[in-house]
Amino acid sequence: MKDNKQSVAASSIFASFFLTVVKLIVGLMTGSMGILSEAVHSLLDLGATILTFFAIKFGDRPADDSHPYGHEKIESVSALIETGLLFVTSIWIIYEAIHRIIVRNTEVEIAWYAFAVVIISIIVDISRSRALIKVAKKTNSQALEADALHFSSDIWSSVVVLIGLILVMIGIRGADTFAAIGVSIFVMMAGYRLGKRTINILVDRAPDGISDIIEDLVCKVPGVIGTSNIRVRSLGSRLAIEVCIKLSRKLSLARASDIKKDTEQKIKAQFQTAEILVNIDLIQLDDETIVEAVQALGVKNNIPVHDVVVDLLDGKQYISYDLELPDTLNMKDAHAIATSLEEDVKNELGEEIELNSHIEPLRNGAVLSSDVSENKMDEIMAVLKEADKEVEEISEIHNVLARKIGDKFFVSFHCLTPAEFSLEAVHEATNRFECLMKERMKTIKRVVIHAEPIE
């Protein structure tokens, strides 16, 4: 793409140079103000195409520390300069044309080569404008689009000059001069449209309707509740899109991250070359329960919270929960963190709520364990069988595993429970089983029970 852009820009330089020289020679030979205005117009095109070539060359440089969004706006600056040149040249041509009309210096020598140069100019301009606009659309290059506009305006201005020459040939004096004024007005109109678009890009004006398109795309992503702060600006051939998505604060960080990625992919599918930034705003939903609110505040404070219980007594609300903090903390620091979480809960749910929290140590790293001796394993199995006799809900114990960490034992096993039992009933049964094992063998630190339904 880069080579195509530079190649078509370079070929435009040669075309503009050729037309400038030929028109200038014929204009001076015939005295045609229309052809001379075309020569000046082509000279402007030559300068514009040279400017376009270097704008593309430097604008295609990759992003760096000083230009994190790339260098493509150099093309917009180039297009703005070209627009200024269009206006300056058009005003000069109008001034010269009016001067000729006032002093009645409108003698024009009509020769075959005057018509030939205008016709050749039209053919070259058609060829160049088509080549430029084709590459401009493929690469979304504003500089090439501006260059194509120059050559397109040349086509119509050459047609006007040709009509002026024909009118002069049939005896209508001054037609050539008025044709030059018409060319200049046409060029200024084209320059105004180009300049307006270029300035909109340089001042970061969002393309019309694009925010609505992005909002519609994003709101279709599962999990997204709404959007805010949609910002779009042009980087030249690309767009920079920033959007904030609203998600339920009940979501885990992993789930929120997945939704963010889904949103980015959704936008990327529509705007493939865009630079996309998606921010997350976690909000409280109207249907959020008290348990979910406490858990969400735990996530906000980066504290795992579980076993949240809410109960009412004599019109007063009580909330209790377990929270996990790193086992490397001392009691003072751990209590300060727990107190901070309690303050957040009361600020949101009300000061009148009675809170009770239980702090559990959380091991963040792996610990070394060792095999259990045969004697200790027999002791553990005996305790396990005794507990199994007392907890009727649990049957067919299998996959028993025991390991030693320090001077404590960790036991895990699989078992079967009736499929129709509620989750709460199964949880209560496994808790009783764990307590019985710990009572009978004090060195057991933890029992992990994986319950499966009886098919």
- Residue pair 304/323 in contact (Cβ under 8 Å)? The answer is yes
pLDDT at 393 over 70: yes
pLDDT at 414 over 90: yes
Regarding whether 242 and 100 lie in a shared domain, the answer is no
Regarding whether 263 and 185 lie in a shared domain, the answer is no
pLDDT category at 361 given cuts 50, 70, 90 is confident
pLDDT at 67 over 80: no
Please count the structural domains in the chain. Answer: 4
Q: Is residue 398 part of a domain?
A: yes
- Residue pair 39/157 in contact (Cβ under 8 Å)? The answer is no
Regarding whether 225 and 113 lie in a shared domain, the answer is no
pLDDT at 95 over 80: no
The pLDDT of residue 379 is 92
pLDDT category at 182 given cuts 50, 70, 90 is confident
- Residue pair 140/273 in contact (Cβ under 8 Å)? The answer is yes
The pLDDT of residue 175 is 67
Q: Is residue 134 part of a domain?
A: yes
pLDDT at 281 over 80: yes
Regarding whether 259 and 214 lie in a shared domain, the answer is yes
Strands across the sheet containing 395-405 = 395-405, 408-417, 444-453
Q: Is residue 300 part of a domain?
A: yes
pLDDT category at 410 given cuts 50, 70, 90 is very high
Q: Is residue 369 part of a domain?
A: no
The pLDDT of residue 14 is 75
Regarding whether 195 and 302 lie in a shared domain, the answer is no
pLDDT at 35 over 80: no
The pLDDT of residue 140 is 63
The pLDDT of residue 304 is 86
How far, in Å, CA of 238 to CA of 330, rounded? 53
pLDDT category at 153 given cuts 50, 70, 90 is low
The pLDDT of residue 432 is 93
Regarding whether 169 and 31 lie in a shared domain, the answer is yes
Query: What is the separation, in whole angstroms, between the first and last Cα of the chain?
Result: 63
Please give the residue that has the higher pLDDT: either 231 or 62: 231
Q: How open is the CA angle 182-184-188, to the nearest 5 degrees?
A: 120
pLDDT at 152 over 90: no
pLDDT at 62 over 70: no
Q: Is residue 345 part of a domain?
A: yes
How far, in Å, CA of 396 to CA of 407, rounded? 29
CA-derived radius of gyration, the chain: 40
Beta bridge mates, 281: 246
Question: At which residue do the structure tokens 């079967």 appear?
Answer: 416
The pLDDT of residue 236 is 63
Question: At which residue do the structure tokens 């920033």 appear?
Answer: 242
Which of 227, 248, 283 is a domain's end point?
283
Q: Is residue 263 part of a domain?
A: yes
Regarding whether 404 and 309 lie in a shared domain, the answer is no
How far, in Å, CA of 348 to CA of 346, rounded? 5
Q: Is residue 269 part of a domain?
A: yes
Regarding whether 329 and 276 lie in a shared domain, the answer is no
Averaged over 67-72, what is the pLDDT?
62
Domain that holds residue 271: 210-283
Averaged over 78-84, what is the pLDDT?
73
Which of 265, 283, 301 is a domain's end point?
283
Give the count of beta carbons closer than 10 Å to the beta carbon of residue 316: 10
CATH code for the domain in which residue 159 is found:
1.20.1510.10
pLDDT at 73 over 70: no
The pLDDT of residue 222 is 92
Q: What is the pLDDT of residues 295-337, one digit of tens each?
A: 888 888 888 888 888 888 888 889 999 988 888 888 899 899 9
Measured N-to-C along each axis, helices 2-30 and 142-169 cross at an angle, to the nearest 10 degrees, of 20
Regarding whether 160 and 104 lie in a shared domain, the answer is yes
Please state, for a pLDDT cut of 90, what percent of the chain lies above it: 21
Averaged over 156-171, what is the pLDDT?
70
The pLDDT of residue 429 is 92
Which of 334, 362, 390 is a domain's end point?
362
The pLDDT of residue 146 is 65
- Residue pair 191/90 in contact (Cβ under 8 Å)? The answer is yes
pLDDT at 367 over 70: no
CA 446 to chain centre: 48
Regarding whether 302 and 254 lie in a shared domain, the answer is no
Q: What is the pLDDT of residues 106-146, one digit of tens each?
A: 555 566 666 777 788 778 778 777 777 777 667 666 566 66
The pLDDT of residue 173 is 65
- Of the ranges 73-77, 122-126, 413-417, which is most confident? 413-417
Question: At which residue do the structure tokens 């997945």 appear?
Answer: 258
pLDDT category at 413 given cuts 50, 70, 90 is very high
CATH code for the domain in which residue 394 is found:
3.30.70.1350
Calculate the average pLDDT of the chain: 79
Q: Is residue 368 part of a domain?
A: no
Question: Which two tokens mark 151?
Answer: 């050559």
Regarding whether 106 and 43 lie in a shared domain, the answer is yes
Question: Which two tokens mark 202?
Answer: 């340089």
Averaged over 346-371, what is the pLDDT?
80
Q: What is the pLDDT of residues 236-276, one digit of tens each?
A: 667 788 999 999 888 877 888 999 999 999 999 888 878 88
How far, in Å, CA of 447 to CA of 74, rounded? 67
Please state, for a pLDDT cut of 70, what percent of the chain lies above it: 74
Regarding whether 276 and 309 lie in a shared domain, the answer is no
- Residue pair 141/56 in contact (Cβ under 8 Å)? The answer is yes
